[in-house]
Amino acid sequence: MGMSPDLVSRTSRPIGVDELMPMLYPSPSLAALVDPLVLERRFGRAESFEILHAQACMALREQLAVDAIAELAQSNDRVLALALDRTLGHEVGWSRVGVVDHDGHDEHGAMARTIATLREALQADGRQGEIDPDTVVEKLASLALGSPAICALRALSRLCPELAVDDPELISASIGIALGFRSLYNQPETRALLAETSPLNYWRDIIKHAAQSDLPAVLDEYLQLVLETERAEKLAPKDRAKVIASSVIAVVALRPAQITLDHWSTKAGRLYEQTFEVRARFAMRFATKAEEEKGVRRTSAVQAAFKSPFRPFVLASTSIGQEGLDFHPYCSRIVHWNLPRNPVDIEQREGRVHRYKNHAVRRNVATAFSATPLIARTSQSLWVSMFEAAQDCELSNGRPGDIIPYWVYPGNHKIERIVLIPPFSRETERYKDLIKSLATYRLAFGQPRQDELISLFLGMDEFVQELSELQISLKPG
């Protein structure tokens, strides 16, 4: 991920809303005309982005008149989505769209400038001559599948079915989320990863990257988790949209941390210390106390960001992260830097990721019941439908349907434990003893892991019956 001197110079300045305008417009028409869920119901699971994009193009050709496509071919592709809404009579009523600034946006007043830019974009449209109609459809499909604003609008409308897709509150919330993504994509590391070469055309790189990374599915899942975490289900739909958007913006626009490192060196028999700072974006630390950087308290923000599908992807914590905190929504792997002292400590550590609707559980449920939302043509959330189907399956088999499927669910995805043990150290034997005591501890509470239990009782068949009589059962019912 090398950065040329030219890119280093450019990334010191954020790309403005004028240049990134196409990714900031939440087109109601495209959000409705191209829905990946509807496409999967009709065509089946797309095995690649190219297939999904071709399906989206087919859906657009079927729903748009030939004359409409020909008219759109006269527009600059920067305003293609705006021109589509005008052609279909679905123009946004900008006077009713509220301006909500957020600390996560790159600068104060970014939302007001974005709305003003979008209102004036069609009037300033520079016609670029005849474009092949197929090219127009392909560009519209790419926007529908990769524009952060359109993907946010579609996901929000699923969670606020009481509101029309062009409701001003949904439009406002979607623009706010898109501006959060602008902050994310404006970071030097991101611009280097996407090999940005021109600020004016960077929006094309963003659309392509987001579409190929399946941003619609990412936001469908993440916004559902935000809804449940914020307990926003019972809020009025407009308030619900605001709460979800605010939480998402705070996460995607999280600023990188500045970490001070010490470098020690020797010269002429003397020891010298030198400090320097590095940016930490993809991995961050979770300190024992609330950190402050430039007056901003980061502990809760870092925790919320780690509980999202966005960076940081690695969180380094002291023992403060061992109890009472949740890191499970997108984490199913825990690395032990040192061995816990006893089985209670290891349970506490792993309990941070082995929780309600944890990442491994959701992946297993989605694997088993992904067809459920395709069959149930209702406005119910995709993830609610899948978990209800999993619970109904448990109930139909005479099981309670509580611990399973919400806390554990069978499948290939597991909570992974990684223990860093120095070679040839005493901790190798100590770890074996710890696992034995952990299996015994879990057996006492009726929650053994089968592999650990089998290892413990190999060669102990005569004691199994006696031990089972000492078991404390926590089984519901």
Q: Is 296 helix (H, G, I), strand (E, B) or coil?
A: strand
Closest to 142 measured CA to CA, from 218, 215, 86: 215
Angle at 372 between CA 369 and CA 376, to 5 degrees: 170
**Has residue 383 got a pLDDT over 70?**
yes
Lowest mean pLDDT among 106-115, 392-401, 447-456: 447-456
333 and 416 Cβ atoms separated by less than 8 Å: yes
Q: Is 349 helix (H, G, I), strand (E, B) or coil?
A: helix
Contacts of residue 258, defined as CB under 8 A and 6 or more positions apart, other chains included, come to 277, 278, 279, 280, 293
159 and 244 Cβ atoms separated by less than 8 Å: yes
Residue 263, beta-bridge partner list: 274
**Has residue 201 got a pLDDT over 70?**
yes
Contacts of residue 397, defined as CB under 8 A and 6 or more positions apart, other chains included, come to none
115 and 98 Cβ atoms separated by less than 8 Å: no
Give how far the C-alpha of residue 251 lies from the chain's centroid of Cα atoms, to the nearest Å.
9
261 and 292 Cβ atoms separated by less than 8 Å: no
Structure tokens at 256: 């990188």
Q: Residue 5: its pLDDT value, please?
A: 66
Amino acid at 414: K
Task: Find tokens 């309990």 and name the residue.
Answer: 351
Res. 423 pLDDT band, cuts 50 70 90: confident
Structure tokens at 191: 């611009």
Closest to 6 measured CA to CA, from 203, 195, 190: 195
Res. 51 pLDDT band, cuts 50 70 90: very high
**Has residue 374 got a pLDDT over 50?**
yes
Helices (H), 88-199: 110-121, 133-146, 148-159, 168-185, 188-193
**Has residue 402 got a pLDDT over 80?**
yes
**Has residue 293 got a pLDDT over 50?**
no
State how far the Cα of 7 lies from the Cα of 366, in Å rounded to an integer.
41
Mean pLDDT over the full length of the chain: 87
**Has residue 34 got a pLDDT over 80?**
yes
State how far the Cα of 419 lies from the Cα of 217, in Å rounded to an integer.
33
Please give the average per-residue pLDDT across 401-416, as a whole number: 93
pLDDT digits (tens, 9 = 90+) for 341-361: 888 888 888 888 999 999 999
Q: Residue 40: its pLDDT value, please?
A: 93
DSSP readout, 395-453? HHTT--SSHHHHT---SS---EEEE---TT-THHHHHHHHHHHHHHHHHHTT---HHHH
Closest to 355 measured CA to CA, from 377, 325, 376: 325
Residue 257, beta-bridge partner list: 280
**Has residue 291 got a pLDDT over 60?**
no
Q: Residue 378: its pLDDT value, please?
A: 64
Q: Residue 453: its pLDDT value, please?
A: 59
Q: Of 127 and 307, which is predicted with more confidence?
A: 307
Q: Which long-range contacts (CB under 8 A, 24 or more apart) does 366-370 make?
A: 367/411, 367/412, 367/413, 368/409, 368/411
C-alpha torsion angle, residues 89, 90, 94, 100 (rounded to 10) = -170
Please give the average per-residue pLDDT across 126-152, as a whole number: 87
